[in-house]
Structure 1
Amino acid sequence: MKTFTIPVPTEFDFNLSLDFLKRSPREILHRCEETSVTKLLKVDHDAVLFNVQQQDRENLRIHVLNTKLTLSIKNTLEIYIRDWFDLDTDIKPFYTLSAKDKYMKNLVEKFYGYRIVGQPDLFESIIWAVLGQQINLSFAYTLKQRFVEQFGVKMIFNGIDYHLFPRPDVVALLNDDVLLPLQFSRQKSKYVVTISEAFASNEISKEKLAGLSLQNAKEKLMKIKGIGNWTANYALMKTFHYPDAFPLEDAGVHNAIKNLKRMKEKPTLDQVKTFYKKYRGWEAYATLYLWKSL
């Protein structure tokens, strides 16, 4: 047998997660079909290709495609997938808060079971946030596609290419000569290499941040040139699922609040902070549903 199941909470809608994963045709790190997603993951020293789909309302079905299903692979994939779809967060308290908010209530009813689709790899999470700075989402995916194709590992299975994100030690050796032709800005090129050097030297790692408070984790990340407040919050929200991590300055958040409240102008930072007050401790999920409203 190459399959196993993972139980899911009642407040989880796999199709909404799948919709998020389908948001760009240029996405290169997973491949979505109508009802499933296939992804390549490094497990120990092997690249394991696996497919995730809904088996029934209570379980996801995981199918390993390219190798035998060992206990080590099963355990690694289960941890990864539970993290990827944020299955271990009890979001009922957020739903209780949103039920009292006329602006958020309808969003939650419409997208019930929508969860943060995370990026369990902290390095990938931060680099993706940097790639997306000050450009539109479509071009950010183009940059990521070029970056992964050029410097990541590729596996061909049944005639289809699957990719792993480039390793920090590989990216740390790059420079402007190879990154600028991919249409990286000079600043983005320097930031990507500097951040990669920090990971390659173990100055920063997922393990070193695990268990820290949000503030302490942010401080450690922001010591590295190229990681500002928005990037740190985004990565901590997507990789560690800190419920109170959220990018306050995010333009999408401001637009969503403006639309929901039918404001003539974008809200000020103080107005954004006021909106979030009722969601203290659940800012990440408030942000998720605001983004979804767009």
Structure 2
Amino acid sequence: MKKSIPYLLKKDKVFQQIVDLYGEPTISTRPEGFESLCKLIIEQQVSLASAKACYLKMESFLGKVTPQNIIKTSDEDLRNNSVSKQKTVYLKELSKAIINKELDLETLSQKTEEQIKAELIAIKGIGNWTAEVYIMFCLQKEDVFPIGDIALQNTLKELFPITTKEEMITLSENWKPNRSLATYFFWHYYLKKRNREPLIY
């Protein structure tokens, strides 16, 4: 994906400004599969630091984060290990879909982004943001723009005279077919400006 940095630098001066301030962005990757999707569910609408702490506590309790281990663990035990009531439901729904072969994560990389997204959001608890970030991080698709991401929205509002999601989506058309890389630029700016580092666990 980094090979497309020169393309974006030519397309929009904002990317050169980010490089001048903070250097080139980190391209975050995660392995395909169940554990990565569980992490993204836990990361929904909470700080990355608290999500990491929650996941590691759950992982320590389960031994290994697998669909079978989540299904056989009581809701109470999951909640006692930092998983909210709502996210307990989501993790169990995902686990059931995997066990029942309603969702095959290993074959997603062979499908179109539209097919992948449709299969993922069919699972209760997986919305557009979770599906899109999975497609970016785990499948490394190059033209994803997760407009539901609050950090992305806030950064675009800081860097451009826009306020609505519609304006942001229209603006993103300029960065096709490299909107994933553009998003990594904006996340990089967001974190560096706030003296934070990318989340790794």
The TM-score, its normalising length taken from structure 1, stands at 0.60
1:268 aligns with 2:164: yes
Q: Which runs of 5+ in 1 are unaligned?
A: 1-88, 154-165
Deviations 1:39-58 (A, max 9, x none): xxxxxxxxxxxxxxxxxxxx
Question: Higher helix fraction: Structure 1 or Structure 2?
Answer: 2
Match of 2:142 in 1: 243
Change (3 A) 1:290 1:111: same
Match of 2:115 in 1: 216
Q: For 2:105 and 2:23, locate their aligned partners in 1 and report how far apart those are by CA, in whole Å.
A: 30
Deviations 1:127-183 (A, max 9, x none): 111101122222111111211111134xxxxxxxxxxxx122211222311111123
Q: How does 1:33-52 map to 2 (within 5 A)?
A: none
Please identify the structure whose Cα radius of gyration is greater.
1
Q: State whether residues 61 and 81 of structure 2, in contact with CA within 8 Å, keep that contact through their aligned partners in structure 1.
A: no
Q: How many angstroms does 1:221 deviate by? A: 0.9
Q: How many angstroms does 1:185 deviate by? A: 1.9
Q: State whether residues 8 and 182 of structure 2, in contact with CA within 8 Å, keep that contact through their aligned partners in structure 1.
A: no
Aligned residues: CA RMSD: 1.8
1:192 aligns with 2:91: yes
Match of 2:105 in 1: 206
Q: How many angstroms does 1:205 deviate by? A: 2.5
Moved over 3 A (4+): none
Give 3-state SS (helix, strand or coil) of 1:284's partner. Answer: helix
Give 3-state SS (helix, strand or coil) of 1:92's partner. Answer: helix
Among 130, 148, 173, the residue aligned to 1:277: 173
Match of 2:76 in 1: 177
Q: How many angstroms does 1:184 deviate by? A: 2.0
Deviations 1:14-62 (A, max 9, x none): xxxxxxxxxxxxxxxxxxxxxxxxxxxxxxxxxxxxxxxxxxxxxxxxx
Q: Which runs of 5+ in 2 are unaligned?
A: 191-201
Letter paired with 2:164: T
Q: How does 1:34-113 map to 2 (within 5 A)?
A: 89=1, 91-109=2-20, 110-112=22-24
Q: How many angstroms does 1:94 deviate by? A: 4.0
Letter paired with 2:187: W
Q: For 2:118 and 2:11, locate their aligned partners in 1 and report how far apart those are by CA, in whole Å.
A: 34
Letter paired with 1:279: W
Q: State whether residues 71 and 95 of structure 2, in contact with CA within 8 Å, keep that contact through their aligned partners in structure 1.
A: yes
Q: For 1:183 and 1:147, locate their aligned partners in 2 and report how far apart those are by CA, in whole Å.
A: 7
Q: For 2:34 and 2:135, locate their aligned partners in 1 and report how far apart those are by CA, in whole Å.
A: 11
Aligned residues: 189
Q: How many angstroms does 1:207 deviate by? A: 2.1
Question: Higher strand fraction: Structure 1 or Structure 2?
Answer: 1
Higher relative contact order (CA 8 A, sep 6+): 2
Letter paired with 1:275: L
